[in-house]
Amino acid sequence: MYPDRVVSGMRPTGALHLGHYHGALKNWVKLQSELPCLFFVADWHALTTHYDDPSVIETSTWEMVIDWLAAGVDPAQATLFIQSRVPEHAELHLLLSMATPLGWLERVPTYKDQQEKLADRDLATYGFLGYPLLQAADVLIYRASQVPVGEDQVPHIEIMREIARRFNHLYGKEKGFEEKALAATKKLGSKRAKLYLELRTQFQEKGDDEALEQAKAMLDDAQNLSMIDRERLFGYLEGSRKLILTEPQAMLTEASRLPGLDGAKMSKSYGNAIALREDAASVTKKVKTMPTDPQRVRRSDPGDPDKCPVWQFHQVYSPSEVKEWAAKGCRSAGIGCLECKQPVIDAILQEQQPMLERAQPYLDDPSLVRAIVADGCDKARKLAQDTMRDVREAMGLGY
């Protein structure tokens, strides 16, 4: 019932890496020409793990937007903004927190995982527990239907869906729905209101689908209706209640979990990443020194690709003939590990070349990036405010 929208964000905790590109950014770039897209810097989320030393956040914010632009995100198509510049996200987070059972948050797998992996930080905080709830607010506030993210985020999208469902269940049952729908009918003007009610009767009493379509088209065209009145009239038409928040879907890429240099998930925090705009010498060195099948000690020892992190890179970067050559050469000790790594190095450098070129104008003139983000913040804020009006009203705060 609401327009399709795409929302996704990333934490400004360091330079973006190839995992971000293959796991999320590729879909961002694809979707931006298909649907309205909003992409944001999740600076509040960065604070959940960096609250004691937030210095990295500000520089990473601007660098990250440059990384997005480098990857092909087009500011003429997508809206780019900073989470904390749209304070309505915090308001929705607070309102959602009232009815979110603690157990839902405690059971999210990343909650325990991250606490263990980042054991040097004290993550026994209120903010860290609320991480997925803030994320839910980020997405639900735009009534997004699709969220392009990496595989690790799927449980977070699932909890968003539950939160939206619970919200609609609790607050979608508006008191005096009939009266409010009839009051909204008056806002259509007397002629259109009469037609709307006739079409509604035709649909509800005679099952006339054409009448339903006609009435819907009429509501779509009615410029002077607020979002909430429009939804009420849609709901009234079909004899149902309104859905205030939309349940979003996760959208994954083919390589939704790119491994890092050590074979574990590539991550900013685990020191196993190749940055999107890393220089060629450093990329070459990192891949050349990356571990391979531990059983393959000497050049003459045959190896097992399934035990080698480089093989996982071949899966993402190599065409089938190169994969065949690498697997055969590894198993038969026909090629050495350095030889096997070369096509991966070449493919990564080739992927990075256009990104470096696209980033350059923004590095030369950082004011371009600030202007893109300022414009995006304004646009996002307007959309967020629309939803918040409905949310407040549904929760009895529509003074």
CB of 24 to ligand ATP, least distance (A): 4
CB of 15 to ligand ATP, least distance (A): 10
Q: Tokens representing 51?
A: 């609250």
CB of 50 to ligand ATP, least distance (A): 9
Give the containing element (helix H, strand E) for 10: strand 6-10
- Binding ligand ATP (rule: CB under 6 A), the pick from 5, 7, 13, 348 is 13
Closest CA to 397 of 171, 115, 93: 171
- Binding ligand ATP (rule: CB under 6 A), the pick from 11, 121, 180, 341 is 11
Q: Does 257 bind ligand ATP (CB under 6 A)?
A: yes
Q: Which stretch binds ligand ATP (CB under 6 A): 150-158, 226-234, 240-248, 275-283?
A: 150-158
Mark out the alpha helices in the chain (DSSP H runs): 18-20, 26-31, 43-50, 55-71, 88-97, 102-106, 109-117, 126-129, 131-140, 154-171, 177-186, 190-206, 209-221, 227-237, 280-288, 309-317, 320-331, 337-364, 366-394
Q: Does 156 bind ligand ATP (CB under 6 A)?
A: no
Task: Work out the end-to-end distance of the chain between its first and last CA atoms, rounded to an integer number of angstroms.
Answer: 26
CB of 227 to ligand ATP, least distance (A): 28
Q: Does 248 bind ligand ATP (CB under 6 A)?
A: no
**Considering only residues 22-41, where is the footprint of ligand ATP by CB under 6 A?**
22-24
Give every CB contact of residue 386 below 8 A, 6+ residues apart in sequence: 227
Q: Does 265 bind ligand ATP (CB under 6 A)?
A: yes
Q: Does 48 bind ligand ATP (CB under 6 A)?
A: no
**Considering only residues 335-364, where is the footprint of ligand ATP by CB under 6 A?**
none
Q: Does 10 bind ligand ATP (CB under 6 A)?
A: yes
11 vs 143, which CB is nearer to ligand ATP?
Answer: 11
Closest CA to 337 of 379, 309, 371: 309
| 5: helix, strand or coil | coil
Q: Does 117 bind ligand ATP (CB under 6 A)?
A: no
- Binding ligand ATP (rule: CB under 6 A), the pick from 269, 316, 322, 379 is 269
In angstroms, the CA 238 to CA 216 distance is 10
244 vs 273, which CB is nearer to ligand ATP?
Answer: 273
- Binding ligand ATP (rule: CB under 6 A), the pick from 61, 100, 153, 185 is 153
Q: Crossing angle for the helix pair 227-237 and 177-186, nearest 10 degrees?
A: 110
- Binding ligand ATP (rule: CB under 6 A), the pick from 74, 91, 152, 375 is 152
In angstroms, the CA 232 to CA 165 distance is 18
- Binding ligand ATP (rule: CB under 6 A), the pick from 267, 272, 292, 387 is 267
CB of 169 to ligand ATP, least distance (A): 28
Task: Quote the DSSP letter at residue 173.
Answer: S
- Binding ligand ATP (rule: CB under 6 A), the pick from 38, 73, 82, 149 is 149
Q: Does 132 bind ligand ATP (CB under 6 A)?
A: no
- Cβ atoms < 10 Å from Cβ of 33: 10
At position 166, the amino acid (one-letter code) is R
As a whole number of Å, the CA-based R_g of the chain is 25
In angstroms, the CA 29 to CA 219 distance is 32
CB of 114 to ligand ATP, least distance (A): 8
Do residues 338 and 288 make contact, with C-beta atoms less than 8 angstroms apart? Answer: yes
Strand partners of residue 17 = 275
**Considering only residues 158-197, where is the footprint of ligand ATP by CB under 6 A?**
none
Find where tokens 């055969």 sit: 328
Q: Which stretch binds ligand ATP (CB under 6 A): 18-26, 198-206, 243-251, 339-347?
A: 18-26
Q: Does 140 bind ligand ATP (CB under 6 A)?
A: no
Report how far Cα 366 is from the mean position of its chain's Cα atoms: 25
- Binding ligand ATP (rule: CB under 6 A), the pick from 7, 19, 96, 245 is 19
Ranked by CB distance to ligand ATP, the top (closest) residue is: 23
Residues near ligand ATP (CB under 6 A): 10-11, 13, 19-20, 22-24, 149-150, 152-153, 256-258, 265-269
